[in-house]
């Protein structure tokens, strides 16, 4: 198969999609740097926590966040029909959409919007350990009247500027019990060219385009456009149902945003742990399009099934006779996966281990790393905002009181920041012994070759060879195997290279024609004796000679970029 190396698209090593041979190289998953909690649950209307919904950096450099805020109210929820549908105190909370800004992405301000009512104080003793709201006020940063489903222009493979954002409206009802809920029945779904200026523009809704579909808020978040299969795609947990003994990830697809199909596309396999103490399963997946593929920020759950849940909602029934002991206790980490076919299949080569590990202590602020936003580009880094929790995933003890797992405290959601150099999820690493990476055939689509590389301790050189088969065994056998050398005279049974062999490289693109790379750069231009522009449109193989270095990816590009 010939991979088309689209100009400016990086070829990364999260999977083997571009690799023909990597003998002697080690694939390394690199962990982002922990920057700690940056948006803390520190307001009376955030006593249950805050979770990221949408974070971006505006053209003027200002960071902007639209996030979810939750607060406990056991007393009030008991009087609302269906509010206690889970029949446990852990879900007696209310939900609002908050707004925050930052000049540096680390220190955030929560401006008072005065749009809707929320708790103004907290009583820590009335229903300990749960905080009980005391008082009510509009002096808060809640009341954003929409939820951003996705920035389809930045992360969703959508070129139409009028469809850059997918939004779900939220009906504001001051003092109402469904205040701020993104799941209320009045919600509608829209496309927008820009985020609405809901604070200063009273007619912002007139500039939205109705999607024309009643997307299920539990599943259809409208993540991206799949131009391979010409359909809209949304990814979510669960499609089969809980009578299958594992959580799973489903792909929902529609060509017209009305008629949807679904399929399970990611689930535990035989290589995953399935002991009762650590039963591995996916909790969720946030997809985003970049570099011509779909990345998956995979929330991975280590469920502790020695703590099964009981209660009426979890009992077996004639409809679900094989319901397994549903478990919510456990830890979450983030893993990185990749799809090259629009999310229909997911390569888990690099997702067998944590990309963002969870905290090791029961009260670590990142004991759970549940969800994460697509990356925000900041200079030469990617910034990820994550939903973190300072305790195990909720579990309800099997007793009439339905008390929380922690008897002396409650676990709280916060928003943490993780940063890494751009596109440095995974590298191929060479030690002190010189190794060579050989790619699959790829089309040259630019006049420059760039490497995302750390060769500050060692060296890297690149050679370019033709993609056509090499004649072997005296010209009798064409071989498509990647070759460093080609015979100049018949090989009489001697399979070792000798003086009768010559470098099988294109003129001007042998290893000796490449200026060695000794730098640490996310986009280092490779310099050859030959002119790469002469190869534009040709199918070639790249050969990368590495010594004590990490290679994260490569791309063809135009010099001006």
pLDDT in tens, 353-380: 999 999 999 899 999 999 999 999 999 9
Structure confidence at residue 246 (pLDDT) = 84
pLDDT of residue 244: 67
- Paired with 544 in beta bridges are 437, 462
Question: What does the alpha-carbon distance between residue 284 and residue 297 come to, in Å, rounded to a whole number?
Answer: 8
Give the model's pLDDT for residue 4.
42
Do 502 and 495 form a contact (C-beta atoms < 8 A)?
no
pLDDT of residue 397 exceeding 90, the answer is no
pLDDT higher at 8 or 56: 56
Measured in whole angstroms, the distance separating CA 129 from the mean position of its chain's CA atoms is 34
Instruction: Name the more confident of 394 and 476.
Output: 476
Handedness of CA 140, 146, 147, 148 (dihedral sign): negative
Average pLDDT across the chain, whole number = 85
pLDDT score for 477 = 84
pLDDT in tens, 308-339: 664 444 444 444 444 455 667 899 999 999 99
- Residue 184 CB burial class (10 angstroms; 0-12, 13-18, ≥19): middle
Quick check: 497 pLDDT over 60? no
User: Which of the four pLDDT bands, split at 50, 70 and 90, describes residue 145?
Assistant: very high
- What integer is the mean pLDDT of 171-177? 50
d(CA 205, CA 37): 34
Domain 33-423 is in which class? mainly beta
List 463's β-bridge partners, or say none.
543
Give ∠ CA 397-402-405 in degrees, rounded to 5.
45
Say how far apart CA 180 and CA 144 lie, in whole Å: 8
Q: How confident is the model over 484-493, as a mean pLDDT?
A: 47
Report which of residues 19 and 89 the model is more confident about. 19
Give the whole-angstrom CA distance, residue 57 versus residue 315. 46
Cβ(283)–Cβ(392) under 8 Å? no
Distances from the Cα of 240 to the Cαs of 232, 264, 325, 553, in angstroms? 20, 7, 16, 37
Contact 304, 278 (CB under 8 A): yes
Least trusted range by pLDDT, from 20-34, 74-88, 178-192, 421-435: 74-88
What is the three-class DSSP state of 198? Answer: coil
Whether pLDDT at 172 is above 50: yes
Q: What is the mean pLDDT of residues 158-167?
A: 96
Query: In percent, how much of the chain has pLDDT > 90?
Result: 66
Q: 70-79, 103-112, 144-153, 169-178 — which is least confidently predicted?
A: 169-178
């Amino acid at each position: 198969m010939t991979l088309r190396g689209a100009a400016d698209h990086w070829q990364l090593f999260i999977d083997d999609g571009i690799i023909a041979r990597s003998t002697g190289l080690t694939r390394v998953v690199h962990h982002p740097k922990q920057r700690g909690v940056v948006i803390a649950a520190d307001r009376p209307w955030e006593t249950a926590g805050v979770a990221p919904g949408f974070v971006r950096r505006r053209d003027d450099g200002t960071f902007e966040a639209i996030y979810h805020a939750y607060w406990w109210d056991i007393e009030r929820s008991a009087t609302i029909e269906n509010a206690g549908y889970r029949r446990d105190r852990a879900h007696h909370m209310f939900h609002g959409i908050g707004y925050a800004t930052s000049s540096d992405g680390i220190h955030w301000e929560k401006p008072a919007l005065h749009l809707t009512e929320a708790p103004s104080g907290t009583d820590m003793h009335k229903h300990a350990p749960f905080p009980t709201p005391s008082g009510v006020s509009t002096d808060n940063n809640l009341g954003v009247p929409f939820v951003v489903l996705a920035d389809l222009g930045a992360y969703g493979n959508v070129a139409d500027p009028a469809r850059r954002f997918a939004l779900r409206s939220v009906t504001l009802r001051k003092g109402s019990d469904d205040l701020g809920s993104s799941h209320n029945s009045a919600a509608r779904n829209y496309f927008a060219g820009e985020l609405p200026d809901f604070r200063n523009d009273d007619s912002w809704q007139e500039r939205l385009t109705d999607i024309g579909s009643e997307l299920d808020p539990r599943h259809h978040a409208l993540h991206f456009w799949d131009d391979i299969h010409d359909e809209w795609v949304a990814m979510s947990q669960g499609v089969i149902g809980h009578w299958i003994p594992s959580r799973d990830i489903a792909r929902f697809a529609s060509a017209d945003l009305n008629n949807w199909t679904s399929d399970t596309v990611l689930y535990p396999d035989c290589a995953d742990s399935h002991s009762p103490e650590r039963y591995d399963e996916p909790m969720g997946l946030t997809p985003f399009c970049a570099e011509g593929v779909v990345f998956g920020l995979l929330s991975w759950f280590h469920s502790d099934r020695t703590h099964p849940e009981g209660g009426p909602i979890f009992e077996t029934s004639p409809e679900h006779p094989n319901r397994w002991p549903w478990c919510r206790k456990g830890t979450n980490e983030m893993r990185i996966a990749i799809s090259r076919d629009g999310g229909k299949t997911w390569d888990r080569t690099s997702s067998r281990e944590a990309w963002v590990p969870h905290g090791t202590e029961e009260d670590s602020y990142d004991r759970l790393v549940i969800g994460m936003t697509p990356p925000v580009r900041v200079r030469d880094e990617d910034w990820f905002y994550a939903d973190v929790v300072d305790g195990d995933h909720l579990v309800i003890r099997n007793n009439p009181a339905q008390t929380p797992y922690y008897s002396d405290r409650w676990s709280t959601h916060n928003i943490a920041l993780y940063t890494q150099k751009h596109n440095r999820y995974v590298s191929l690493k060479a030690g002190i012994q010189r190794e060579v990476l050989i790619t699959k055939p790829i089309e040259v689509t630019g006049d420059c070759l760039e490497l995302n590389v750390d060769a500050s301790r060692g060296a890297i050189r690149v050679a370019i060879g033709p993609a056509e088969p090499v004649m072997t065994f005296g010209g009798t056998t064409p071989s498509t195997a990647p070759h460093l050398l080609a015979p100049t005279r018949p090989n009489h049974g001697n399979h070792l290279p000798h003086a009768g062999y010559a470098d099988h490289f294109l003129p001007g693109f042998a290893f000796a024609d490449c200026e060695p790379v000794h730098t640490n750069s996310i986009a280092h231009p490779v310099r050859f004796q030959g002119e790469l522009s002469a190869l534009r449109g040709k199918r070639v193989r790249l050969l990368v000679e590495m010594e004590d270095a990490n290679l994260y990816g490569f791309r063809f590009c135009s010099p001006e970029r």
